[in-house]
A and B are shown apart, each in its own frame.
Chain A
Amino acid sequence: MSADFYYTIEVIINGLMTGVLYSLVALGFVLIFKASGVFNYAQGVMALFAALTLVGLQNGQIPFAPLINSIFGTNLSTFGWTLPTVVAIVLALGVMVLFAYLVERYILRYLVGQDPVILFMATIGLAYFMEGFGDLMWGADIKKLDVGLPQGGNVWLESATEGWAEGFYGFYIDNLDIWATFIAVVLVIGLMVFSQYTKTGRALRAVADDNQAAMSVGISLRAIWVIVWSLAGFVALVAGTMWGAKSGVQFSLSLIALKALPVLMLGGFTSIPGAIVGGMIIGVGEKLFEYSIGPMIGGATENWFAYVLALLFLVFRPQGLFGEKIIERV
């Protein structure tokens, strides 16, 4: 085998790992879309907000410090402590649950039974609000997020595969990507088991299937919405943490949400496995395309490849790879 072959393999592996991160964001969309038919534009911003909150808590940053300073003329910035990562994660999760409750209480409750597009518009508003709110609360500077996961290339893998071919120096794969993949897999399996085998999981599926029938067996729609948005917040926290650890917590993070769109078009809006596979196809596809065709046409294909692929899917298989075809008896 030539070195070229191994480099291609390396590109594929790295593509898979990037794809997992896309999948994590897409997963949050799927959860909310399945249960309430709402396309939550704010999912990416939720990931950003969760990551900001995590960093802020970890570093003992005082929320709204610039605002307080400018009103009262004080000079606050931090509490002067740093929280252990685990505590910060639990607290950040608490913030996301509170956020889910507030979204239900002050937005969704008033929009019950409206057209999906109206709910979609509401989530666009929510996204802009949160972006500004996150800025106000934690500041807009790029923050380094360290949750204690190993970073940098995996030395063992690199030295083990070095010399497989002439001119090949071993696979370079980031430890963080390996961890992110592992965490994503655990998360997805956990979510699927939860939705299959628990009372709340069944209730989530029931609400996704038929609102009225769900109410008639005693399921409170409002409670379910809070739970779904909390789960989406939890997934956003994981996604935000992984992206943040990889490339710093910055506001461009919310743009990753846009990459989740082609992922969903490939995988189908209603399928959890679809979100995962879709993410991986996009991840591998864009890396391979950039590696093989990119140099011929001037590069930077990663910016548009995913969208073109999604467009092709829209033409030939609009429900995505795993999307539900509606079962209807005639």
Chain B
Amino acid sequence: MNATADTYVTEDGRTIGGPVMEMKNITLRFGGVTAISDISFDIREGEIRAIIGPNGAGKSSMLNVINGFYHPQEGEIWFRGEKRKPMKPYQIAQQGIARTFQNIALFKGMSTLDNIMTGRFTHMKTNMFWQAIWKGPAEREEIENREIVEHVIDFLEIQSIRKTPVGRLPYGLQKRVELGRALAAQPKLLLLDEPMAGMNVEEKEDMSRFILDVNDEFGTTIALIEHDMGVVMDISDRVVVLDYGKKIGDGTPDEVRNNQDVIDAYLGVAHD
């Protein structure tokens, strides 16, 4: 596919490239239950792509398919112009896909700093021997990666909790640390599973700002799931809408807002 032909510039001056990730006719079943049924969509380079839908629509399943926790029975996944073979989640992380979780999955006993350092795991290559003696390459690598992590910490404004075990932090900050861990990986595609779930208005505003800033400053491609319609329509470039495992809408926020199927799915429709 010719990527350059698809490139366009948004109103606020960001360049959106060709597709980074293409989901083609994905079907995922759990036993007799079809969680995702024949869904296709793409995620383009540099955009913020939202996946929305009512509860049980298959949004989280879709994210788990992208990051390899689930393996679809049918369909193809194309990442950066190549068809992806079935892979383990850690291999997918090594390819440059990072994620956060709906119910925060941080390493609770570890400090904020250590949590975010684990995000650098795939970028650190020295072997066990050098690590064991902690000199030479291992020490250099540790320092280099530490700098990147400190940058992330500054960016997210969490300097004051660097040494705090994350289990003790309030919910909103934990969400931010988790975003930090994903950012530290400098991912080519960042997946956010309900980044604003359970937050108050102020925390939501902070999080929205961070998501926009990440996208703007680092050009990171972001795919996110979110329940809060207002937030989604504000920050995303394109939205795909799922309902009962099927795709019922795909387009810009305005297009989606005026799509009759989407309105029916959200407001309910009279059956006669």
Point out residues on A near B: beta carbons under 8 Å: 193-194, 197-203, 205-206, 208-210, 212-221, 227, 324, 327-329
Contact = CB atoms under 8 A, between A and B. Distances in A.
Q: Is the interface of A mostly helix, strand, loop or mixed?
A: helix
B109 A213 contact: no
B108 A327 contact: yes
A202 B117 CA distance: 8
Given A205-B109, A209-B108, A216-B93, A194 B131 contact: yes
B119 A327 contact: no
B69 A217 contact: no
Chain B interface extent, by class: 35 or more
B81 to A, nearest CB: 21
B1 to A, nearest CB: 27
Contacts of A227: 128
Given A214-B107, A217-B98, A327-B168, 14 more contacts: A193-B134, A198-B134, A199-B131, A199-B142, A200-B131, A203-B118, A206-B110, A209-B109, A213-B106, A218-B94, A219-B90, A219-B118, A327-B108, A327-B167
Interface in B91-112: 91, 93-94, 98-99, 101, 105-110
Contact of B105 (A208, A216, A324): A216
Given A197-B134, A198-B138, A199-B126, A218 B121 contact: yes
A201 B126 CA distance: 13
Interface of B: 67, 69, 88-91, 93-94, 98-99, 101, 105-110, 114, 117-122, 124, 126, 128, 131-132, 134, 138, 141-142, 165, 167-168, 170-171, 181, 185
Contact of A327 (B90, B128, B131, B165): B165
B114 A205 contact: yes
B251 to A, nearest CB: 29
Contacts of A194: 131-132, 134
Most buried by A among B109, B120, B181: B109
Contacts, number: 100
Contact of A217 (B91, B119, B142): B119
A215 B167 CA distance: 19
A194 B129 CA distance: 11
Given A197-B142, A210-B105, A217 B134 contact: no
Would you list the 3 A-B pairs with minimal beta carbon distance, nearest first? A218-B93, A213-B105, A218-B122
17 contacts: A193-B134, A194-B131, A198-B134, A199-B126, A205-B107, A206-B110, A206-B118, A208-B109, A209-B110, A210-B107, A215-B88, A218-B90, A220-B88, A220-B90, A220-B91, A221-B90, A328-B167
Given A219-B121, A327-B168, A206 B90 contact: no
B191 to A, nearest CB: 9
A209 B142 CA distance: 22
A150 B128 CA distance: 32
A202 B118 contact: yes
Nearest to B169: A329
A214 B105 CA distance: 9
A218 B185 contact: yes
A193 B185 CA distance: 24
B107 A216 contact: no
Nearest to B191: A216
Nearest to A224: B90
B99 to A, nearest CB: 5
A216 B134 contact: no
Contacts of A210: 105-108
A180 to B, nearest CB: 22
A250 to B, nearest CB: 32
A117 to B, nearest CB: 24
B67 A216 contact: yes
A217 B109 contact: no
Nearest to A197: B134
